[in-house]
Structure 1
Protein backbone atom coordinates (compact mmCIF):
# COMPACT_ATOMS: atom_id res chain seq x y z
CA UNK A 1 0.00 0.00 0.00
CA UNK A 2 1.17 3.58 -0.52
CA UNK A 3 3.45 5.56 1.73
CA UNK A 4 2.77 9.25 1.97
CA UNK A 5 4.84 12.05 3.45
CA UNK A 6 3.61 14.95 5.56
CA UNK A 7 5.19 18.27 6.49
CA UNK A 8 6.02 18.54 10.17
CA UNK A 9 4.23 21.42 11.86
CA UNK A 10 7.48 22.79 13.31
CA UNK A 11 9.13 23.00 9.89
CA UNK A 12 11.77 20.40 10.79
CA UNK A 13 11.16 18.34 7.67
CA UNK A 14 8.85 15.71 6.27
CA UNK A 15 7.91 12.35 7.74
CA UNK A 16 6.49 9.20 6.22
CA UNK A 17 3.16 7.55 6.99
CA UNK A 18 2.11 4.06 6.01
CA UNK A 19 -1.36 4.27 4.50
CA UNK A 20 -3.92 1.50 3.97
CA UNK A 21 -7.32 2.30 2.50
CA UNK A 22 -10.56 0.41 3.16
CA UNK A 23 -12.61 -1.13 0.38
CA UNK A 24 -15.38 1.44 0.63
CA UNK A 25 -15.55 5.15 1.20
CA UNK A 26 -16.33 7.59 2.62
CA UNK A 27 -14.78 6.17 5.77
CA UNK A 28 -13.53 7.44 9.13
CA UNK A 29 -9.81 7.22 9.81
CA UNK A 30 -7.60 5.77 12.54
CA UNK A 31 -4.04 6.95 13.15
CA UNK A 32 -2.12 3.83 14.20
CA UNK A 33 0.68 4.68 16.63
CA UNK A 34 3.78 2.52 16.67
CA UNK A 35 5.51 0.54 19.38
CA UNK A 36 9.16 1.29 20.12
CA UNK A 37 10.10 -0.90 17.15
CA UNK A 38 8.93 1.56 14.50
CA UNK A 39 6.41 1.09 11.72
CA UNK A 40 7.47 -2.52 11.27
CA UNK A 41 5.71 -5.57 9.84
CA UNK A 42 3.47 -5.85 12.90
CA UNK A 43 2.31 -2.23 12.70
CA UNK A 44 1.65 -2.62 8.99
CA UNK A 45 -0.40 -5.74 9.70
CA UNK A 46 -2.43 -3.77 12.25
CA UNK A 47 -3.05 -1.13 9.58
CA UNK A 48 -4.34 -3.91 7.31
CA UNK A 49 -6.68 -5.06 10.10
CA UNK A 50 -7.93 -1.53 10.75
CA UNK A 51 -8.61 -1.01 7.05
CA UNK A 52 -10.39 -4.36 6.83
CA UNK A 53 -12.76 -3.04 9.51
CA UNK A 54 -13.65 -0.17 7.21
CA UNK A 55 -11.34 2.60 8.43
CA UNK A 56 -8.61 4.55 6.68
CA UNK A 57 -5.42 3.47 8.48
CA UNK A 58 -2.48 5.84 8.73
CA UNK A 59 0.71 5.02 10.69
CA UNK A 60 3.19 7.91 11.06
CA UNK A 61 6.90 7.26 11.52
CA UNK A 62 7.42 8.81 14.94
CA UNK A 63 11.16 8.17 15.04
CA UNK A 64 11.89 10.11 11.84
CA UNK A 65 13.77 12.83 13.68
CA UNK A 66 16.25 10.22 14.94
CA UNK A 67 16.24 7.36 12.44
CA UNK A 68 13.71 7.56 9.58
CA UNK A 69 12.21 4.28 8.44
CA UNK A 70 12.98 2.35 11.64
CA UNK A 71 11.73 -1.24 11.44
CA UNK A 72 12.98 -3.40 14.29
CA UNK A 73 12.06 -6.97 15.23
CA UNK A 74 10.84 -7.38 18.85
CA UNK A 75 11.76 -11.06 18.66
CA UNK A 76 15.11 -10.40 16.97
CA UNK A 77 17.30 -10.50 20.05
CA UNK A 78 18.93 -8.13 22.52
CA UNK A 79 20.45 -5.91 19.84
CA UNK A 80 17.04 -5.03 18.44
CA UNK A 81 15.73 -4.20 21.91
CA UNK A 82 18.76 -2.03 22.69
CA UNK A 83 18.18 -0.04 19.50
CA UNK A 84 14.47 0.28 20.30
CA UNK A 85 15.05 1.53 23.84
CA UNK A 86 17.70 3.98 22.65
CA UNK A 87 15.20 5.43 20.18
CA UNK A 88 12.47 5.55 22.82
CA UNK A 89 14.78 7.33 25.27
CA UNK A 90 15.68 9.87 22.59
CA UNK A 91 12.09 10.41 21.51
CA UNK A 92 10.61 13.87 22.09
CA UNK A 93 7.03 13.09 23.09
CA UNK A 94 5.80 16.65 22.61
CA UNK A 95 7.06 16.70 19.03
CA UNK A 96 5.68 13.20 18.56
CA UNK A 97 2.26 14.37 19.68
CA UNK A 98 2.54 17.26 17.26
CA UNK A 99 3.26 14.79 14.45
CA UNK A 100 0.24 12.70 15.50
CA UNK A 101 -1.93 15.82 15.29
CA UNK A 102 -0.51 16.48 11.82
CA UNK A 103 -1.52 12.95 10.79
CA UNK A 104 -4.97 13.42 12.33
CA UNK A 105 -5.48 16.69 10.48
CA UNK A 106 -4.34 15.15 7.20
CA UNK A 107 -6.62 12.13 7.65
CA UNK A 108 -9.55 14.40 8.43
CA UNK A 109 -9.20 16.16 5.08
CA UNK A 110 -8.30 13.21 2.86
CA UNK A 111 -10.38 12.37 -0.17
CA UNK A 112 -12.70 9.57 0.91
CA UNK A 113 -12.61 10.54 4.58
CA UNK A 114 -15.75 11.28 6.58
CA UNK A 115 -13.72 13.75 8.64
CA UNK A 116 -13.90 11.63 11.80
CA UNK A 117 -10.50 10.50 13.11
CA UNK A 118 -9.35 8.39 16.04
CA UNK A 119 -6.06 6.97 17.27
CA UNK A 120 -4.94 3.49 18.27
CA UNK A 121 -1.54 2.91 19.84
CA UNK A 122 0.52 0.11 21.32
CA UNK A 123 3.17 0.23 24.09
CA UNK A 124 4.84 3.63 23.54
CA UNK A 125 2.03 4.20 21.06
CA UNK A 126 -0.46 3.33 23.78
CA UNK A 127 0.99 6.12 25.88
CA UNK A 128 0.85 8.47 22.90
CA UNK A 129 -2.77 7.51 22.16
CA UNK A 130 -3.62 8.45 25.74
CA UNK A 131 -1.76 11.73 25.29
CA UNK A 132 -3.71 12.22 22.06
CA UNK A 133 -6.90 12.01 24.11
CA UNK A 134 -5.54 14.88 26.19
CA UNK A 135 -3.76 17.00 23.61
CA UNK A 136 -5.26 16.54 20.13
CA UNK A 137 -8.66 16.88 18.50
CA UNK A 138 -9.07 13.15 17.84
CA UNK A 139 -12.59 11.85 18.43
CA UNK A 140 -11.66 8.43 19.88
CA UNK A 141 -8.46 6.95 21.28
CA UNK A 142 -7.51 3.33 21.98
CA UNK A 143 -4.49 2.64 24.17
CA UNK A 144 -3.06 -0.88 24.24
CA UNK A 145 -0.77 -1.56 27.24
CA UNK A 146 0.36 2.06 27.33
CA UNK A 147 3.44 2.68 29.46
CA UNK A 148 3.53 5.33 32.17
CA UNK A 149 -0.18 6.15 32.07
CA UNK A 150 -0.19 6.46 35.85
CA UNK A 151 1.76 9.68 35.40
CA UNK A 152 -0.74 11.07 32.90
CA UNK A 153 -4.13 10.43 34.49
CA UNK A 154 -4.10 13.66 36.46
CA UNK A 155 -4.51 15.79 33.33
CA UNK A 156 -7.99 16.24 31.80
CA UNK A 157 -9.17 14.31 28.77
CA UNK A 158 -10.40 16.17 25.69
CA UNK A 159 -11.68 13.06 23.93
CA UNK A 160 -12.79 9.55 24.87
CA UNK A 161 -10.20 6.87 25.54
CA UNK A 162 -10.30 3.09 25.89
CA UNK A 163 -7.31 1.77 27.83
CA UNK A 164 -6.42 -1.92 27.53
CA UNK A 165 -4.26 -3.05 30.46
CA UNK A 166 -2.43 -6.38 30.67
CA UNK A 167 -2.78 -7.72 34.22
CA UNK A 168 0.74 -9.25 34.20
CA UNK A 169 2.40 -6.38 32.31
CA UNK A 170 6.07 -6.36 33.30
CA UNK A 171 6.31 -2.69 32.31
CA UNK A 172 3.17 -1.59 34.18
CA UNK A 173 3.31 -3.06 37.73
CA UNK A 174 0.23 -3.56 39.93
CA UNK A 175 0.69 -0.27 41.77
CA UNK A 176 0.78 1.63 38.46
CA UNK A 177 -2.33 -0.20 37.27
CA UNK A 178 -4.11 0.71 40.50
CA UNK A 179 -3.15 4.37 40.04
CA UNK A 180 -4.46 4.34 36.46
CA UNK A 181 -7.80 2.86 37.51
CA UNK A 182 -8.13 5.22 40.47
CA UNK A 183 -7.21 8.24 38.37
CA UNK A 184 -9.82 7.43 35.71
CA UNK A 185 -12.56 6.12 37.98
CA UNK A 186 -15.81 7.93 37.32
CA UNK A 187 -14.49 9.80 34.28
CA UNK A 188 -17.19 9.52 31.59
CA UNK A 189 -14.57 9.87 28.86
CA UNK A 190 -12.47 6.93 30.08
CA UNK A 191 -12.99 3.18 29.82
CA UNK A 192 -10.42 0.84 31.39
CA UNK A 193 -10.33 -2.83 30.46
CA UNK A 194 -7.97 -5.13 32.37
CA UNK A 195 -7.12 -8.39 30.60
CA UNK A 196 -6.41 -11.12 33.17
CA UNK A 197 -3.34 -13.32 33.08
CA UNK A 198 -1.61 -11.73 30.08
CA UNK A 199 1.63 -9.80 29.66
CA UNK A 200 2.65 -6.68 27.78
CA UNK A 201 2.20 -6.96 23.99
CA UNK A 202 -0.52 -9.61 24.27
CA UNK A 203 -2.01 -8.31 21.01
CA UNK A 204 1.21 -8.49 18.96
CA UNK A 205 0.37 -11.34 16.59
CA UNK A 206 3.17 -13.89 16.49
CA UNK A 207 5.03 -12.30 19.39
CA UNK A 208 6.24 -14.22 22.41
CA UNK A 209 3.50 -12.73 24.63
CA UNK A 210 0.67 -13.02 22.11
CA UNK A 211 -2.60 -14.29 23.60
CA UNK A 212 -5.26 -14.96 20.99
CA UNK A 213 -8.19 -14.88 23.41
CA UNK A 214 -7.26 -11.56 25.02
CA UNK A 215 -6.31 -10.04 21.68
CA UNK A 216 -9.64 -11.07 20.15
CA UNK A 217 -11.64 -9.71 23.09
CA UNK A 218 -9.66 -6.46 23.07
CA UNK A 219 -10.01 -6.18 19.31
CA UNK A 220 -13.77 -6.55 19.52
CA UNK A 221 -14.05 -3.91 22.21
CA UNK A 222 -11.77 -1.60 20.23
CA UNK A 223 -13.85 -2.04 17.08
CA UNK A 224 -17.07 -1.30 18.97
CA UNK A 225 -15.49 1.77 20.58
CA UNK A 226 -14.24 3.17 17.28
CA UNK A 227 -17.52 2.58 15.49
CA UNK A 228 -19.46 4.19 18.33
CA UNK A 229 -17.37 7.35 18.25
CA UNK A 230 -16.32 7.57 14.60
CA UNK A 231 -19.18 5.90 12.77
CA UNK A 232 -18.84 3.17 10.15
Structure 2
Protein backbone atom coordinates (compact mmCIF):
# COMPACT_ATOMS: atom_id res chain seq x y z
CA UNK A 1 0.00 0.00 0.00
CA UNK A 2 2.82 2.43 0.83
CA UNK A 3 5.87 3.96 -0.79
CA UNK A 4 9.08 5.66 0.32
CA UNK A 5 9.23 9.40 -0.33
CA UNK A 6 11.76 12.17 0.33
CA UNK A 7 11.13 15.19 2.55
CA UNK A 8 13.14 18.42 2.64
CA UNK A 9 14.83 18.88 6.00
CA UNK A 10 14.07 22.09 7.86
CA UNK A 11 16.93 24.58 7.69
CA UNK A 12 19.34 22.02 6.22
CA UNK A 13 20.49 21.26 2.68
CA UNK A 14 19.29 17.67 2.95
CA UNK A 15 16.35 15.37 2.39
CA UNK A 16 15.25 12.44 4.50
CA UNK A 17 13.14 9.38 3.74
CA UNK A 18 9.65 8.64 4.99
CA UNK A 19 7.11 5.88 4.45
CA UNK A 20 3.87 7.20 2.95
CA UNK A 21 0.58 5.31 2.93
CA UNK A 22 -2.38 6.97 1.20
CA UNK A 23 -6.10 6.22 1.19
CA UNK A 24 -7.98 5.36 -1.99
CA UNK A 25 -9.56 8.84 -2.14
CA UNK A 26 -8.07 12.23 -1.27
CA UNK A 27 -7.42 12.43 2.46
CA UNK A 28 -9.19 15.02 4.60
CA UNK A 29 -6.46 14.83 7.24
CA UNK A 30 -2.98 13.40 7.73
CA UNK A 31 -1.26 11.63 10.61
CA UNK A 32 2.50 11.47 11.15
CA UNK A 33 3.50 8.12 12.67
CA UNK A 34 6.65 8.67 14.72
CA UNK A 35 8.65 5.45 15.19
CA UNK A 36 10.13 3.87 18.24
CA UNK A 37 13.89 3.39 18.41
CA UNK A 38 13.60 0.53 15.91
CA UNK A 39 13.19 2.60 12.77
CA UNK A 40 10.47 2.45 10.13
CA UNK A 41 10.09 -1.30 10.52
CA UNK A 42 7.23 -3.59 9.53
CA UNK A 43 5.19 -2.69 12.60
CA UNK A 44 5.38 1.05 11.93
CA UNK A 45 4.55 0.55 8.26
CA UNK A 46 1.54 -1.53 9.31
CA UNK A 47 0.33 1.30 11.55
CA UNK A 48 0.56 3.65 8.56
CA UNK A 49 -1.32 1.21 6.34
CA UNK A 50 -4.12 0.90 8.91
CA UNK A 51 -4.44 4.68 9.17
CA UNK A 52 -4.57 4.95 5.37
CA UNK A 53 -7.32 2.34 5.32
CA UNK A 54 -9.21 4.58 7.77
CA UNK A 55 -8.94 7.50 5.33
CA UNK A 56 -5.85 9.34 6.54
CA UNK A 57 -2.67 10.22 4.69
CA UNK A 58 -0.09 8.51 6.93
CA UNK A 59 3.60 9.38 6.96
CA UNK A 60 6.35 7.74 9.04
CA UNK A 61 9.66 9.65 8.91
CA UNK A 62 13.02 7.94 9.28
CA UNK A 63 14.04 9.66 12.51
CA UNK A 64 17.57 8.17 12.49
CA UNK A 65 18.41 9.33 8.94
CA UNK A 66 21.38 11.43 10.02
CA UNK A 67 23.45 8.50 11.30
CA UNK A 68 21.60 5.22 10.58
CA UNK A 69 19.46 5.76 7.48
CA UNK A 70 17.03 3.01 6.59
CA UNK A 71 17.63 0.95 9.73
CA UNK A 72 14.87 -1.53 10.63
CA UNK A 73 15.21 -3.43 13.89
CA UNK A 74 13.29 -6.14 15.74
CA UNK A 75 12.94 -5.49 19.50
CA UNK A 76 12.53 -9.23 20.14
CA UNK A 77 16.11 -9.86 18.95
CA UNK A 78 18.53 -8.95 21.74
CA UNK A 79 21.37 -7.77 19.50
CA UNK A 80 18.99 -5.54 17.57
CA UNK A 81 17.49 -4.20 20.81
CA UNK A 82 20.96 -3.22 22.00
CA UNK A 83 21.70 -1.63 18.60
CA UNK A 84 18.53 0.43 19.00
CA UNK A 85 19.58 1.61 22.46
CA UNK A 86 22.84 2.79 20.92
CA UNK A 87 20.96 4.87 18.35
CA UNK A 88 18.78 6.31 21.10
CA UNK A 89 21.94 7.46 22.86
CA UNK A 90 23.11 9.27 19.70
CA UNK A 91 19.77 10.85 18.91
CA UNK A 92 19.06 14.56 19.33
CA UNK A 93 15.36 15.04 20.01
CA UNK A 94 15.62 18.73 19.08
CA UNK A 95 16.59 17.60 15.56
CA UNK A 96 13.71 15.15 15.70
CA UNK A 97 11.01 17.72 16.39
CA UNK A 98 12.37 19.85 13.54
CA UNK A 99 12.00 16.81 11.29
CA UNK A 100 8.38 16.46 12.45
CA UNK A 101 7.82 20.10 11.56
CA UNK A 102 9.37 19.48 8.14
CA UNK A 103 6.87 16.66 7.56
CA UNK A 104 4.00 18.95 8.62
CA UNK A 105 5.15 21.54 6.06
CA UNK A 106 5.50 18.90 3.32
CA UNK A 107 2.00 17.53 3.94
CA UNK A 108 0.43 20.98 3.92
CA UNK A 109 2.17 21.83 0.64
CA UNK A 110 1.15 18.54 -0.99
CA UNK A 111 3.41 15.54 -0.50
CA UNK A 112 4.42 13.30 -3.40
CA UNK A 113 1.62 14.37 -5.71
CA UNK A 114 -1.13 14.24 -3.09
CA UNK A 115 -3.43 17.17 -2.49
CA UNK A 116 -2.33 19.55 0.28
CA UNK A 117 -3.80 18.62 3.66
CA UNK A 118 -4.18 21.28 6.34
CA UNK A 119 -5.17 19.17 9.35
CA UNK A 120 -2.15 17.16 10.48
CA UNK A 121 -1.95 15.02 13.61
CA UNK A 122 0.78 12.77 14.94
CA UNK A 123 1.03 9.56 16.91
CA UNK A 124 4.31 8.40 18.38
CA UNK A 125 5.63 5.42 20.30
CA UNK A 126 8.44 5.28 22.92
CA UNK A 127 10.95 7.88 21.64
CA UNK A 128 8.23 8.79 19.16
CA UNK A 129 5.89 9.38 22.09
CA UNK A 130 8.34 11.92 23.45
CA UNK A 131 8.50 13.57 20.02
CA UNK A 132 4.68 13.66 19.88
CA UNK A 133 4.73 15.60 23.16
CA UNK A 134 7.43 17.91 21.81
CA UNK A 135 5.42 18.44 18.62
CA UNK A 136 2.49 19.52 20.80
CA UNK A 137 4.67 22.07 22.61
CA UNK A 138 6.83 23.32 19.73
CA UNK A 139 4.75 23.10 16.53
CA UNK A 140 1.24 23.94 15.38
CA UNK A 141 0.31 20.29 14.86
CA UNK A 142 -3.47 19.86 15.02
CA UNK A 143 -3.55 16.96 17.51
CA UNK A 144 -0.95 14.65 19.07
CA UNK A 145 -0.97 11.21 20.67
CA UNK A 146 1.92 9.62 22.56
CA UNK A 147 2.21 5.99 23.61
CA UNK A 148 4.60 5.26 26.49
CA UNK A 149 6.65 8.37 25.74
CA UNK A 150 10.04 8.45 27.42
CA UNK A 151 11.50 11.47 29.26
CA UNK A 152 8.32 13.54 29.07
CA UNK A 153 8.61 14.07 32.83
CA UNK A 154 11.85 15.98 32.14
CA UNK A 155 10.13 18.37 29.71
CA UNK A 156 7.06 19.42 31.68
CA UNK A 157 8.33 23.00 31.74
CA UNK A 158 7.19 23.19 28.10
CA UNK A 159 3.59 22.23 28.86
CA UNK A 160 2.39 25.84 28.91
CA UNK A 161 2.93 25.91 25.13
CA UNK A 162 0.47 23.09 24.38
CA UNK A 163 -2.18 24.82 22.27
CA UNK A 164 -3.86 21.85 20.56
CA UNK A 165 -5.17 18.54 21.94
CA UNK A 166 -2.69 15.98 23.29
CA UNK A 167 -3.42 12.45 24.49
CA UNK A 168 -0.89 10.28 26.33
CA UNK A 169 -1.17 6.53 26.93
CA UNK A 170 0.68 5.49 30.09
CA UNK A 171 1.23 1.82 31.02
CA UNK A 172 1.66 1.65 34.78
CA UNK A 173 4.29 -1.13 34.71
CA UNK A 174 6.49 0.65 32.14
CA UNK A 175 10.06 -0.33 33.02
CA UNK A 176 11.43 2.68 31.07
CA UNK A 177 9.04 5.25 32.57
CA UNK A 178 8.88 4.46 36.26
CA UNK A 179 6.34 5.38 38.95
CA UNK A 180 8.04 8.69 39.83
CA UNK A 181 8.08 9.80 36.19
CA UNK A 182 4.44 8.75 35.77
CA UNK A 183 3.46 10.67 38.91
CA UNK A 184 5.27 13.76 37.59
CA UNK A 185 3.41 13.52 34.28
CA UNK A 186 0.05 13.28 36.07
CA UNK A 187 0.94 16.16 38.38
CA UNK A 188 2.23 18.34 35.56
CA UNK A 189 -0.36 17.59 32.89
CA UNK A 190 -3.43 16.16 34.62
CA UNK A 191 -5.20 19.52 34.93
CA UNK A 192 -4.11 20.90 31.55
CA UNK A 193 -7.25 21.70 29.53
CA UNK A 194 -5.74 20.39 26.29
CA UNK A 195 -4.33 17.13 27.69
CA UNK A 196 -5.97 13.72 28.18
CA UNK A 197 -4.11 11.00 30.12
CA UNK A 198 -4.98 7.29 30.08
CA UNK A 199 -3.37 4.75 32.44
CA UNK A 200 -3.13 1.03 31.59
CA UNK A 201 -2.86 -0.94 34.80
CA UNK A 202 -0.14 -3.59 34.80
CA UNK A 203 0.90 -3.11 31.18
CA UNK A 204 4.49 -2.51 30.12
CA UNK A 205 6.34 -0.43 27.55
CA UNK A 206 5.54 -1.42 23.99
CA UNK A 207 2.14 -2.93 24.74
CA UNK A 208 0.60 -1.42 21.59
CA UNK A 209 3.21 -2.69 19.14
CA UNK A 210 1.58 -4.14 16.03
CA UNK A 211 3.54 -7.38 16.30
CA UNK A 212 6.02 -9.20 18.50
CA UNK A 213 6.34 -10.32 22.11
CA UNK A 214 5.60 -6.95 23.70
CA UNK A 215 2.05 -6.61 22.36
CA UNK A 216 -0.91 -6.92 24.70
CA UNK A 217 -3.95 -7.36 22.46
CA UNK A 218 -6.59 -6.15 24.89
CA UNK A 219 -4.60 -3.12 25.96
CA UNK A 220 -3.56 -2.26 22.42
CA UNK A 221 -7.13 -2.44 21.15
CA UNK A 222 -8.39 -0.20 23.96
CA UNK A 223 -5.64 2.39 23.45
CA UNK A 224 -6.00 2.33 19.68
CA UNK A 225 -9.79 2.78 19.92
CA UNK A 226 -9.23 5.84 22.10
CA UNK A 227 -6.69 7.17 19.62
CA UNK A 228 -9.08 6.64 16.72
CA UNK A 229 -11.89 8.49 18.52
CA UNK A 230 -9.49 11.30 19.45
CA UNK A 231 -8.39 11.81 15.85
CA UNK A 232 -11.99 11.62 14.62
CA UNK A 233 -12.91 14.37 17.07
CA UNK A 234 -9.95 16.66 16.41
CA UNK A 235 -9.05 15.97 12.77
CA UNK A 236 -12.51 15.13 11.43
- TM-score using structure 1 length: 0.96
1:179-190 → structure 2 map (5 Å cutoff): 179-190=184-195
- Residue 2 of structure 1 aligns to a residue whose secondary structure is strand
Q: What is the RMSD computed on CA atoms of the aligned residues? A: 1.1
How many matched pairs? 230
Alpha carbons 1:28, 1:113 under 8 Å: kept? no
1:116 is aligned to 119
Alpha carbons 1:135, 1:158 under 8 Å: kept? no
Whole-angstrom CA distance in 2 between matches of 1:38 and 1:205: 14
1:192 and 2:197 are equivalent in the alignment: yes
* Residue 195 of structure 1: how far off its partner (Å): 0.9
* Residue 130 of structure 1: how far off its partner (Å): 0.5
Runs of 4+ in 1 over 2 A off after TM superposition: 111-114
1:106-138 deviation line (CA, Å, top 9, x unaligned): 112223344100010000000000000001110
1:25 is aligned to 26
2:219 is aligned to 214
1:72 is aligned to 73
Unaligned runs of 5+ in 2: none
2:173 is aligned to 168
Whole-angstrom CA distance in 2 between matches of 1:148 and 1:196: 20
Whole-angstrom CA distance in 2 between matches of 1:26 and 1:210: 29
- Residue 154 of structure 1 aligns to a residue whose secondary structure is helix
1:135 and 2:166 are equivalent in the alignment: no
Whole-angstrom CA distance in 1 between matches of 2:117 and 2:83: 38
1:202 is aligned to 207
1:88-103 → structure 2 map (5 Å cutoff): 88-103=88-103
Whole-angstrom CA distance in 1 between matches of 2:200 and 2:36: 19
Whole-angstrom CA distance in 1 between matches of 2:214 and 2:27: 36
Alpha carbons 2:47, 2:210 under 8 Å: kept? no
1:35-74 → structure 2 map (5 Å cutoff): 35-74=36-75
Alpha carbons 1:136, 1:158 under 8 Å: kept? no
Unaligned runs of 5+ in 1: none
- Residue 72 of structure 1 aligns to a residue whose secondary structure is coil
- TM-score using structure 2 length: 0.94
1:133-170 deviation line (CA, Å, top 9, x unaligned): 00111000000000011112221213211000011100
- Residue 26 of structure 1 aligns to a residue whose secondary structure is coil
2:163 is aligned to 158
